[in-house]
Amino acid sequence: MLKPLGDRVIIEAQEAKEETVGGIVLANNAKEKPQTGKVVAVGNGRVLDNGQTVTPEVKKGDEVVYDKYSGTSVDYDGQKYLVLKESDILAVVE
């Protein structure tokens, strides 16, 4: 499996559905395209200037909303993942 470094998070991207009622529908005309995905791995976190490490707010299994154009796409064992910084995650679906 892939273990992200620092404040990075690995997301299993979900197909963007155009029209939904009870779920999330992503704005098509937005400048930044948000998209949902499931967190599959989380780094140790960002190191502050005082030496402390900030534990990421998201955890494995979280469904998150992120900006479609953030991060780097990686394929592993036939599955497509996205490696992005936790700061590129907009919100968690609760």
CB 38 within 8 A of CB 61: yes
| Distance in Å, CB of 63 to a second copy, minimum | 10
The CB-of-61 to a second copy minimum distance in angstroms stands at: 14
Applying CB under 8 A, the residues found at the interface with a second copy are: 1-6, 8, 10, 21-27, 30, 32, 34, 41, 44, 47-52, 54, 57-58, 65, 67, 72-78, 80, 83, 86-87, 89-94
Contact 78, 29 (CB under 8 A): no
User: CB of residue 50 vs a second copy: minimum separation in angstroms?
Assistant: 6
d(CA 54, CA 20): 36
3-state secondary structure (DSSP) of residue 58: coil
